[in-house]
């Protein structure tokens, strides 16, 4: 966050600031995602969160309500506390945020998948010899996510041909974009159902609050299986359901 400076009797943010974290969805977003009045506040809410609060999606399916409540609890309990924590999901697959230092020994990692934008790749992460950058927007299109699943799966399958392969999947916070990529890998590579993959990732990294579950449900069908969490097929669009947590 850019430091505040005084302008008469009012504090304003430096004019060169172009991005900010929404206090509602906890995502770092560009200036155009905020209204002018919200942008001038120190604590700002993006347009999508405000719009969804005024007109939230109506969820009646008890299974979807349980999922939303799980994500709400994760946000309240962990906030961004696990951003710099690396969670081992399987012996070959780890999940986390965009690490800024070498506290975690990267020599243990043979490959990396950045599920966020290229600017989220810190200098320490650029040291990885094999790095795939998916360039997913946090509130991007569902079609882009489905394409990213296929690219990530192909990358992981090739990586796993090497002995002692270990892949680190990360985004900005390690709770949404990277989580869905990890679940897609578990489904395609390990053969897990979406239901089992979600439970495993939540167990290993309780801070997750993935928005793109509808895309993962479609991906499970595309893998030639019956969807194990059919409620996600009928869920509101990812942006709407994500704004609830």
Q: What's the confidence (pLDDT) of residue 111? A: 94
Q: What's the confidence (pLDDT) of residue 6? A: 32
Please state which CATH number belongs to domain 62-242: 3.90.190.10
Q: What's the confidence (pLDDT) of residue 13? A: 41
> 93-96 and 87-90 as β-strands: parallel, antiparallel, unpaired?
antiparallel
User: Per DSSP, what are the bridge partners of residue 169?
Assistant: 95, 113
Q: How big, in percent rounded to 5, are the helix, strand and coil portions of the chain?
A: 40, 15, 45
Burial category of 180 from C-beta neighbours within 10 Å (exposed 0-12, middle 13-18, buried 19 and up):
buried
Q: What's the confidence (pLDDT) of residue 216? A: 97
The per-residue pLDDT string of the chain (245 residues; one tens digit each, 9 = 90 and over) reads 333 333 333 334 444 578 888 876 667 788 888 888 888 887 787 887 777 666 667 788 899 999 999 999 999 999 888 988 899 999 999 999 988 776 556 668 899 999 999 988 888 888 888 999 999 988 778 889 999 999 999 999 999 999 889 999 999 899 999 999 999 999 999 999 999 999 999 999 999 999 999 999 999 999 999 999 999 998 988 888 888 88
Q: What's the confidence (pLDDT) of residue 3? A: 36
pTM comes to: 0.79
Give the residue extent of every domain in the chain: 4-54, 62-242
Of 97, 149, 88, the residue nearest 121 (C-alpha): 97
Q: What's the confidence (pLDDT) of residue 15? A: 46
6-12 contact pairs (CB < 8 A, 24+): 11/42, 12/40
């Amino acid at each position: 966050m850019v430091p505040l400076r005084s302008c008469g009797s009012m504090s304003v943010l430096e004019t060169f600031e172009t991005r900010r974290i929404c206090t509602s969805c906890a995502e770092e977003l560009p200036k155009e995602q905020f209204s002018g009045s919200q942008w001038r506040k120190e604590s700002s809410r993006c347009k999508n969160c405000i719009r969804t609060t005024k007109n939230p999606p109506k969820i009646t399916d008890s299974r979807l309500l349980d999922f939303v409540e799980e994500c709400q609890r994760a946000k309240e309990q962990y906030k961004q506390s696990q951003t710099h924590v690396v969670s081992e999901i399987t012996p070959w697959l780890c999940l986390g945020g965009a690490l800024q230092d070498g506290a975690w020994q990267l020599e243990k990692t043979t490959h990396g998948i950045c599920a966020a934008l290229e600017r989220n790749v810190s200098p320490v992460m650029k040291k990885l010899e094999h790095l795939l950058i998916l360039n997913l927007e946090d509130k991007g299109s569902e079609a882009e996510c489905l394409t990213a699943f296929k690219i990530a799966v192909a990358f992981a399958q090739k990586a796993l041909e090497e002995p002692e392969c270990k892949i680190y999947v990360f985004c900005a916070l390690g709770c949404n974009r990277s989580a869905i990529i990890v679940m897609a890998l578990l489904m395609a590579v390990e053969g897990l159902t979406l239901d089992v993959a979600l439970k495993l990732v939540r167990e290993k990294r309780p801070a997750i609050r993935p928005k793109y579950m509808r895309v993962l449900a479609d991906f499970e069908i595309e893998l030639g299986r019956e969807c194990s969490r059919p409620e996600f097929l009928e869920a509101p669009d990812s942006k709407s359901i994500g704004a609830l947590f």
